[in-house]
Amino acid sequence: MPEFKRVEKEMFPSSLATIETKGRQKKQQDDQFRTEFQRDIHRIIYSQSFRRLRHKTQVFYFPQNDHVSTRMDHVLFVASAARTVARCLGLNEDLAEAIGLAHDIGHAPFGHQGEKFLTGIIGKSTALKQHIKSFSHELYGLRVVDKIAKRDRESPGLNLTWEVRDGIISHCGEDFEKCKLDPGSKDKKLCEIKNRKKAGLPATLEGCIVRLVDKVAYCGKDIEDAIAAGVIKESDVPQNINAKLGKTNGKIIGSCLESIIKKSYNKDYIAISREYGDLMHSLIEFNKEKIYHSEKSEGYRKQAEQTIKLLFKDLLAKYQYTKKFEDFPKEDKMPYVYMVFAEYVKDMKGIYENSDPDELVVLDFIAGMTDSFVVRSFQELFIPQATV
């Protein structure tokens, strides 16, 4: 049989490229066709957790305009841009793409607002606070790929490489106050990391690319989405940003990636020029003021928060009342969310430890929901239905 599997060193020629992996949590047989990081790409995109990103908020709740971004769109943009940068620098394109695809897999429904809603629930639960201090999507993303994400009928957990897992937990950080990212420690014990500071910088240059490109990918697209949603007008964007970065998302991404490639070429770090870093920082501040805190992005915040809280309370009560769904009657008009939750508990059998509180099971289930499923579940449980 011919040798189909290509040698990473031939494909990614830089001496700084990440070649091979430190390993996986569980050993597995080599693949004769794919690199280890290419296998991770496929594990990620075939998982249910990844597919649900297409119905999770990026900025605006479940947009009906097909051209306004969801979380799925964002991770695809990041993966594509990260691969481009990695290719130009001779780094491992497969690793950059895998991290880009998975970096937001831990996001809750309703985007960053949803993180705050779940953090509020954690703060009022003594049982939860002993296990998780707050909800942080990058730290939670590691929990998702390690324990929760499923590839359809397979067992939970994607068993990804150490480098991809490190890229997920370390992808959040400064908003261009620093323009240079030096790789962090390769000796991190990922499962012991409890906060963003401990996660530090990604241990690979490919992970550093994703961390920087993440901001580039969302800033310009959030502008496009806000214009489409009528939140801002094109003329509202500061003129110095239009003049230097470009007036469209494509121009913004193109100019920033060019700067990253030029500043990082043959370097042992990933950087962007101070000029472009300052411009991007200004753009982020503009977006925060004019878009992220606008009426359209926060107008239903209170309702969304109450929805999450009521669902958590109800599902916890149902979980405990049915003795973890061991006493779960099959009824014709059983709310669909209960059936899905019961199936989740069945699928996760053996994943939770005896010391894990019931509240953690419910938190995991809600965190994995899409925005639309949250609303559907709320309507089923709390909105009166016709009885005749």
Q: What is the structure's pLDDT at 386?
A: 79
pLDDT in tens, the chain (388 residues): 467 778 898 999 999 999 999 999 999 999 989 999 999 999 999 999 999 999 999 999 988 888 999 999 999 999 999 999 999 999 999 999 999 999 999 999 999 999 999 999 999 999 999 989 999 999 999 999 999 999 999 999 999 999 999 999 999 987 677 899 999 999 999 999 999 889 999 999 999 999 999 999 999 999 999 999 999 999 999 999 999 999 999 999 999 999 999 999 999 999 999 999 999 999 999 999 999 999 989 989 999 999 999 999 999 999 999 999 988 776 667 899 999 999 999 999 999 999 999 999 999 999 999 999 999 999 999 998 877 8
Distance between CA atoms of residues 298 and 304, nearest Å: 10
pTM score: 0.96
- Checking 245-248 for CB contacts under 8 A at 24+ apart, the result is 245/220, 245/276, 245/279, 245/280, 245/283, 248/220, 248/224
CB 170 within 8 A of CB 197: no
Residue 239: what pLDDT? 94
pLDDT, residue 331, reads 65
Q: Hey, what amino acid is at 307? A: T
Report the alpha-carbon angle 72-30-85, nearest 5.
40
The DSSP secondary-structure symbol of 180 reads: E
List the domains of the chain with CATH numbers: 8-105+149-297 (1.10.3210.10), 301-382 (no CATH)
Instruction: For residue 338, report the phi and psi dihedrals to the nearest 5 degrees.
Output: -65, -40
- SS3 helix, strand, coil % of the chain, rounded to 5? 55, 0, 40
| Element (DSSP H or E) covering residue 322 | none
pLDDT of 175: 67
Predicted confidence at residue 334, as pLDDT, reads 84
The H or E element that residue 270 is part of is strand 270-271
Which of 324, 372, 366, 327 minimizes the C-alpha distance to 349? 324
What pLDDT, on the 0 to 100 scale, is given for residue 40?
A: 98
Is 161 strand, coil or helix? strand
